[in-house]
Amino acid sequence: MKQICTHRLLVISASAILLAATSVAFAQAPASDEDKTFVESALKGGMAEIDLGKLAANKGASDDVKQFGQMMVTDHTKLGDKMKTVASDIGVKPPTMTSASDVALKAKLEVLSGDTFDKAYISAMVKDHEEDLKDFKKEVADATSPEVKAAARHGETVVMHHLEMIRKIAQTHNVTVASM
Q: How far apart are CA 66 and CA 125, in angstroms?
A: 13
State whether residue 30 is helix, strand or coil.
coil
140 belongs to a structural domain: yes
Count of domains in the chain?
2
Within 60-145, residue ranges assigned H as helices are: 63-90, 100-110, 114-142
Closest CA to 43 of 152, 161, 164: 152
With beta carbons less than 8 A apart as the criterion, state whether 118 and 66 touch: no
180 belongs to a structural domain: no
177 belongs to a structural domain: no
pLDDT in tens, 14-65: 444 544 444 444 456 799 999 999 999 999 999 999 999 999 999 999 999 9
* Domain region containing 106: 31-172
Q: Say if residue 39 is in the same domain as residue 18.
A: no
CATH number for the domain harbouring residue 77: 1.20.1260.10
pLDDT in tens, 89-109: 999 999 999 999 999 999 999
Q: Say if residue 24 is in the same domain as residue 40.
A: no
Q: What is the CA radius of gyration of the chain?
A: 22
Please tell me the pTM assigned to this model: 0.82
